[in-house]
Amino acid sequence: MSDAAAARTITEHELEQCRHANDTGRPPVVFIHGLWLLPSSWDRWVTLFEQNGYVALTPGWPDDPETVAEGNAHPEAFAGKSIADVADHYEEIIRGLDTKPVLVGHSFGGLLTQILAGRGLAAASVAIDPAPFRGVLPLPISALKSAFPVLGNPANRNRAVPLTFDQFRFAFANAVDEKEAEHLYETYAVPAPGKPLFQAAAANLNPWTEAKVDTDNPERGPLLIISGELDNTVPWAVANASFKQQQDNPGVTEIAEIKGRGHALTIDNGWQEVAETALAFLKRAV
């Protein structure tokens, strides 16, 4: 996506968030959601981070609907987005800030966080259960099962794909009880573009993949990877392999495991423990 094309995807709401962040003079934090979620998944994080001195931005992916209800009513809005489309969109927003932001991303948002940090755009970064990039080799069975609703049909590459409740339960909400899983599904789940999953799945076979991270850039800044112990979608083996790829960077690189947590760790009842872990790292590292 060209700079001009990326600029066209930015909404007035996102521009207003940039203006507000610049006007406050407080350090900005940009939250980056992953597949099957929307920016509203960060609402409680926004409140906590702003109580801790940050000004928060929650941009969407290009063409994100405003609400979960709208997203489920119009799944076609999500279709066709590639990793580069989304990364370039966020880069354009970040370049509108007066100071480098902290980046916090979950799942594919964690991959995007590392891509953007690798472009030298972050003061520091927290990647939570991040999707894999080129060079990350483990392929646990649970990760393949989580991705199967998309990867099981090649035609899904250019479609938006919703998860059934049972699929969401396995991929996101396996570490909470049934009642909370149903609440999370009804409150947060939307369809997701298939293309990024196909790109990540083929990353180690494609030298030109968009699912790649410049792990050597000395301007990457401090990075924390957070892994949920019980995550089926991005198990410890995947998160730790990402950490090992990042370790040679001259910046501070850390990894933390949150016990008893699944892929929904940013939105479930224990979200604050994860957020506090991120804040503690940022306090030390920035």
pLDDT of residue 8: 74
Residue 250, Cβ density class (10 Å: 0-12 exposed, 13-18 middle, ≥19 buried): exposed
Distance from C-alpha of 275 to C-alpha of 104, rounded to nearest angstrom:
10
For the chain, the straight-line distance linking the first and the last C-alpha, in angstroms and rounded, comes to 31
Distance from C-alpha of 210 to C-alpha of 81, rounded to nearest angstrom:
12
Structural domain for 53, as ranges? 3-285
pLDDT of residue 76: 95
CATH number of the CATH domain containing 175 = 3.40.50.1820
pLDDT of residue 7: 59
Per-block mean pLDDT, blocks of 10 residues, the chain (286 long): 62 96 97 98 98 98 96 96 97 97 98 98 98 95 96 96 98 98 98 97 95 98 98 98 97 98 98 98 95
Residue 145, Cβ density class (10 Å: 0-12 exposed, 13-18 middle, ≥19 buried): middle
- For tokens 């007035």, the residue is 12
Q: How many CA atoms lie within 13 A of 165 on its CB side?
A: 10
What is the model's pTM?
A: 0.96
Q: How many domains does the chain have?
A: 1
